[in-house]
Amino acid sequence: MKSLPLVVSLGVVLLATGCAAPSSSISATHVPHQQHANQSCGDLIMQRSRIVMSLSDVSSQQDAAAAADKVGVFLVGLPISSIFGEDKEGQVALQKGRLIAIDAAIQLTCK
Q: For 33-91, what is each residue's pLDDT tens digit?
A: 888 888 999 999 999 999 999 999 999 999 988 888 777 776 677 776 666 667 889 99
Q: Are 97 and 28 in contact (CB under 8 A)?
A: yes
The pTM assigned to this predicted structure is: 0.77
- The gap between the terminal CA atoms of the chain, to the nearest Å, is 70
Instruction: Specify the 3-state DSSP secondary structure of 27.
Output: coil
Check if the beta carbon of residue 36 is closer than 8 Å to that of residue 105: yes
CA dist 70 and 64 (Å) reads: 10
Distance, in Å, from the CA atom of 26 to the CA atom of 10, rounded to the nearest integer, reads 25
Residue 83: how many other CB atoms lie within 10 Å = 12
Confidence of residue 3 (pLDDT cuts 50, 70, 90): low
Does the structure show a pLDDT above 50 at 102?
yes
